[in-house]
């Protein structure tokens, strides 16, 4: 599998992360756009296993905090809109939403470059957006349109952006973890000096293939960070019902780990920066992101049969990642409450415009049905005369 990943990745040269986008015109005050550093302490200390934890003190700036706020607010609005599109039957099949977990995607991206790789499971919309994905292409993919990020054939669970080293969402629980280690193998083999962030959920943490991949990663000192996004429920099963020990950052007897407040974007950034430096010298590390999803497991899950509405409301009130950044911005006078409201209105317009544009994109042509099935077009498939039998021709 590592060899296959290596062949597919060989043609692409590492890319340098682009400069952060300019802030919108409503936020052009000198103080708001400042990159002067300020020091902020993370919400809680890092818990560590077989390694000394990073400092709780992290640096940020007005520009970075406002960028975080805008990006996470865009993700939140995107997912809420996807909920509406699904209920309107414009999105079919599976759909897993990420609202509540935005700090993981945004904080991780802030610590790395686009030359580093990311691979994740099926809750992948916001990872794609964090890698610079276009909301129009994202909505088009959700609605099965031709110009979607996977040409309308992947759907919600299979977003992909090769030019940003985003190796996608994967629909099989835990299956992406060995693939991520294969990407890291390629990076080490080519001496790139880059790393792979290999994401999975607490529902995948007991998969045998995860431990097999972790063993090989440790044996070969691969530059891979295994990131467990622990939202505490695997489908409708609470972590304590599925795992004898839900301390997922301690799962590697021979691999160090950190437990991170995954609802604190600055803590995520600090941990991911620390982890990247570690794995380039020492091999793999496990990051357990303590986070929470507001929606159910998928759109078919109301999310309220195995947890109470009071539990969800309590997390929103006390730990919401966007609200935390909002409070930081206001407390340092980097923007006013009205300016943040104006930003949110601008985001709503951006998302609505992206949906309208995506709706105009046609569906894929029938000839696309069998493309990208075989490597380098070495196989050919077509319908039989009765339109029921599929013929396969291999060399």
Question: What pLDDT digit, counting tens, does each position of 63-90 carry?
Answer: 999 999 999 999 999 999 999 999 999 9
Q: What local confidence, expressed as pLDDT, does residue 369 receive?
A: 76
Rounded Cα distance, 274 and 265, in Å: 14
Question: What pLDDT digit, counting tens, does each position of 99-136 carry?
Answer: 999 999 999 999 999 999 999 999 999 999 999 999 99
Question: What pLDDT digit, counting tens, does each position of 310-322 carry?
Answer: 999 999 999 999 9
Q: What local confidence, expressed as pLDDT, does residue 21 receive?
A: 52
Question: Which segment of 4-18, 56-70, 171-185, 333-347 scores lowest on mean pLDDT?
Answer: 4-18
Task: Give yes or no for residue 395 having a pLDDT over 70.
Answer: no
Rounded Cα distance, 192 and 206, in Å: 31
Q: What is the mean pLDDT of the chain?
A: 91
Q: Report strand pairing: 47-49 vs 257-261.
A: antiparallel
Give me the sign of the Cα torsion angle 203, 209, 212, 213.
negative
Place of tokens 């309308």: 152
Task: Give yes or no for residue 13 having a pLDDT over 60.
Answer: no
DSSP 3-state of 39: strand
The half-sphere exposure of 287 on its side-chain side, counting CA atoms within 13 A, is 31
Nearest residue to 165 via CA among 204, 217, 137, 127? 127
Residues 274 and 258: beta-carbon distance below 8 Å: yes
Average the pLDDT over 234-247 and give the result: 93
Task: Give yes or no for residue 297 having a pLDDT over 80.
Answer: yes
Q: What local confidence, expressed as pLDDT, does residue 391 receive?
A: 57
The kind and range of the H/E element at 117 are: strand 117-119
Roughly how many angstroms between the first and final C-alpha of the chain, as a whole number? 22
Question: What pLDDT digit, counting tens, does each position of 336-384 carry?
Answer: 999 999 999 999 999 999 999 999 999 998 878 777 777 766 666 665 5
Q: How confident is the model at residue 1 (pLDDT cuts 50, 70, 90)?
A: very low
Q: What local confidence, expressed as pLDDT, does residue 80 receive?
A: 98
Q: Which residues contact 273 (CB under 8 A, 6 or more apart)?
A: 54, 111, 112
Find residue 59's DSSP bridge partners: 39
Contacts 24+ apart (CB under 8 A), 343-349: 343/24, 343/26, 343/27, 343/69, 343/70, 343/73, 344/73, 344/77, 346/24, 346/26, 347/70, 347/73, 347/74, 347/77, 348/77
Average the pLDDT over 39-54 and give the result: 98
Domain boundaries, the chain: 2-364
Highest mean pLDDT among 3-17, 260-274, 356-370 belongs to 260-274
Average the pLDDT over 39-43 and give the result: 98
Rounded Cα distance, 245 and 231, in Å: 15
Burial letters for 147-185: b for 16+ Cβ neighbours within 10 Å, e otherwise? bbbbbbebbbbbbbbeebbbbbbbbebbebbbbbbbbbb
Task: Give yes or no for residue 44 having a pLDDT over 70.
Answer: yes
Residues 270 and 58: beta-carbon distance below 8 Å: yes
Q: In this structure, what token pair is assigned to residue 360?
A: 């105009």
Q: In this structure, what token pair is assigned to residue 335?
A: 């923007």
Percentage of residues in the chain having pLDDT higher than 70: 87
Q: What local confidence, expressed as pLDDT, does residue 377 receive?
A: 61
DSSP assignment of 287-352 equals EEEE---SS-SSTT--S-SSS-HHHHHHHHHHH-HHHHHHHHHHHTTSS-HHHHHHHHHHHHHHHH
Residues 172 and 383: beta-carbon distance below 8 Å: no
Question: What pLDDT digit, counting tens, does each position of 194-216 carry?
Answer: 999 999 999 999 999 999 999 99
Q: What are phi and psi of 383, to 5 degrees?
A: -75, 150
- Tell which wins on pLDDT, 385 or 362: 362
Nearest residue to 190 via CA among 10, 8, 3, 2? 10
Task: Give yes or no for residue 9 having a pLDDT over 50.
Answer: no
Q: What local confidence, expressed as pLDDT, does residue 58 receive?
A: 98
Assigned fold of 2-364: Rossmann fold (3.40.50)
């Amino acid at each position: 599998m590592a060899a296959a990943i290596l062949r597919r990745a060989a043609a692409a040269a590492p890319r340098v992360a682009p400069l952060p986008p300019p802030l919108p015109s409503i936020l052009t005050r000198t103080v708001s756009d400042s990159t002067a550093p300020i020091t902020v302490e993370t919400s809680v200390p890092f818990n560590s296993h077989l390694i000394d934890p990073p400092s709780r003190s992290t640096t940020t700036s007005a520009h970075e905090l406002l960028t975080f706020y805008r990006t996470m607010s865009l993700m939140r609005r995107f997912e809420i809109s996807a909920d509406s599109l699904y209920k309107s039957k414009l999105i079919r099949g599976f759909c897993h939403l990420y609202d509540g977990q935005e700090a993981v995607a945004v904080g991780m991206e802030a610590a790395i470059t686009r030359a580093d790789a990311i691979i994740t499971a099926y809750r992948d919309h916001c990872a794609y957006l964090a890698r610079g994905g276009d909301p129009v292409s994202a909505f088009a993919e959700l609605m099965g349109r031709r110009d979607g990020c996977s040409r309308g054939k992947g759907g919600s669970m299979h977003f992909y952006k090769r030019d940003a080293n985003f190796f996608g969402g994967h629909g099989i629980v835990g299956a992406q973890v060995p693939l991520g280690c294969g990407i890291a193998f390629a990076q080490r083999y080519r001496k790139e000096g880059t790393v792979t962030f290999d994401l999975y959920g607490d529902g995948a943490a007991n998969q045998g293939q995860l431990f097999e991949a972790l063993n090989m990663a440790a044996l070969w000192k691969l530059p891979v960070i295994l990131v467990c996004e622990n939202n505490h429920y695997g489908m409708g099963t609470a972590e304590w019902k599925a795992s004898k020990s839900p301390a997922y950052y301690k799962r590697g007897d021979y691999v160090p780990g950190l437990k991170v407040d995954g609802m604190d974007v600055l803590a995520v950034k600090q941990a991911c920066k620390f982890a990247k430096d570690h794995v380039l010298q020492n091999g793999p590390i496990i990051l357990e992101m303590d986070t929470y999803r507001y929606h159910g497991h998928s759109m078919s899950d109301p999310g309220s049969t195995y947890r109470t509405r009071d539990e969800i409301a309590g997390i929103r009130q006390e730990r919401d990642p966007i609200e935390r950044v909002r409070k930081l911005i206001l407390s340092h006078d980097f923007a006013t409450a009205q300016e943040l409201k104006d930003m949110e209105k601008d985001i709503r317009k951006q998302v609505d415009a992206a949906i309208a544009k995506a709706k105009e994109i046609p569906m894929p042509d029938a000839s696309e049905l069998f493309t990208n099935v075989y490597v380098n077009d070495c196989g050919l498939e077509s319908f039989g005369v009765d339109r029921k039998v599929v013929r396969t021709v291999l060399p």
